[in-house]
Structures are given as C-alpha cells and as structure tokens.
C-alpha cells in the first residue's frame, strides 16, 4: 500500500518528535553565559542532565526557561544534577549555563537533554501482548541503553579524574622546581660565605708618618 506524500511526511515527523536527545560537551569561558534552545511540544516528558567535567571549582549556574520566559529550574554553583519535567506549553525552551562569577577559570560542561519517551524497537509498537522473544528483546534493549548511559558517566568521571591528576602533577612539578632552585641558591650562598671566611687576606702596608 502506497501512502500519499503528505501522510508519509506526517509519519516521519511523528517519528522524529517521539524522541529526541541533545548530548554535547562544550567549553564555557570565564565571565560568559551560553544558552541552548529547543522547540518542544506541550505535555512532553523531558530530562535535563549536566555535569562540570573540568575547570575551577567544578561549578556553574544553570537555568531552564519555558517559552513564556519563566524559570522552571535553577541551580547556583552546582557541579552536576538531573531534572525531569513535563512541558506545559509548546514553544522554545532555553537552557542557560553561566560562568559569570568566575574571572579566569574556563569550564568544560557536559549536557544531555532528552525530549520525549524512548521509541520502541522496530516491529514492537503494536498494542497486543508481546511474545516471549519480543519481551526478551525489549529487556536486552533497555539493558543496553543503561549500559550506554553508565559508559557515558564513566567517561565523564574518568576525564574529570584525569584532569585533576594532571593539575596535581603540574602543581607538584612547579613546587619541586621552586624548592630545587631554593636549595641550590642556599647551597651556593653557603659555599660563597665559607670560602670568604677561609680565604687568606693580604697584609696591608702601613706607612709611618715621619
């Protein structure tokens, strides 16, 4: 059966609207504010998740605004959080990350915005009771999605730990270099002082007054 062109486009649009996910990692400069916009239908379940991977004290300000410019979610100097909400109005929602309180620290921020429910597996969208094979496939699919989510969080924690280790290693290097320079300076100074104490002084010639 061949569907008309408009009906086919409507089905494709519904499939796209059914579930959407925006997942990205971006750099937030000091004294900066970045906003991301997404057009979301009404009565849609959404989940916003973020985490500061590197930079400063690992904190940012986060706000979520609805199409009426009303703030429906806010976090101040937060490192990570997850917020689930249901849209009341259709329109453009804004997620803003602010680093305006920092004067020199750049931040690396991870954001994941999931819009709508997860689409079912192909051929399993019917309303009848699923067979045992379909139920097993659905269980495996959900388990794989959980594994993918755990892998993402593990990579974030690994990147955060690696950055902290690199910062600690750099601090130890510079402190060791400064201490080495100080020790060498003290040693050279002591050698010069001791050499001055044990060096022979030439006798001074005195002239008699006649």
CATH classification (class only), 19-117: mainly beta
C-alpha pair distances (Å), 138 with each of 20, 126, 147, 195, 197: 19, 13, 14, 85, 88
| Nearest of 93, 95, 78 to residue 40 by alpha carbon | 93
3-state secondary structure of 156: helix
The 10s digit of each residue's pLDDT in 133-163 is 777 777 787 777 777 777 777 777 777 777 7
Say if residue 107 is exposed, middle or buried (CB neighbours under 10 Å; 0-12, 13-18, 19+): buried
CA quadruple 22, 26, 31, 35: dihedral, nearest 10: -20
User: Is 0.85 topped by the overall pTM?
Assistant: no
pLDDT band at 118 (very low <50, low <70, confident <90, very high): low
Is the model's pLDDT at 1 over the cut of 50?
A: no
| Nearest of 120, 124, 97, 116 to residue 108 by alpha carbon | 97
CA distance 183 to 62: 48
């Amino acid at each position: 059966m061949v569907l008309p062109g408009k009906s086919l486009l409507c089905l494709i649009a519904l499939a796209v609207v059914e579930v959407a996910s925006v997942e990205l990692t971006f750099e937030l400069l000091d004294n900066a504010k970045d906003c991301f916009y997404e057009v979301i239908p009404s009565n849609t379940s959404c989940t916003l998740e973020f985490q500061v991977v590197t930079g400063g004290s690992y904190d940012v300000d986060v706000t979520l605004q609805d199409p009426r410019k009303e703030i429906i979610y806010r976090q101040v100097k937060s490192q990570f959080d997850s917020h689930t909400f249901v849209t009341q109005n259709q329109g453009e929602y804004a997620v803003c990350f602010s680093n305006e309180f920092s004067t020199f620290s750049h931040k690396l921020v991870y954001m994941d915005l999931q819009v709508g429910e997860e689409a079912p597996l192909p051929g399993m969208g019917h309303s009848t009771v699923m067979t045992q094979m379909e139920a097993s496939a659905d269980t495996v699919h959900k388990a794989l999605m959980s594994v993918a989510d755990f892998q993402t969080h593990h990579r974030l924690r690994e990147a955060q730990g690696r950055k902290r280790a690199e910062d600690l290693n750099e601090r130890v290097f510079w402190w060791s270099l400064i201490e080495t320079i100080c020790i060498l300076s003290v040693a050279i100074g002591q050698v010069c002082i001791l050499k001055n104490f044990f060096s022979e002084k030439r006798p001074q010639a005195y002239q008699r007054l006649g």
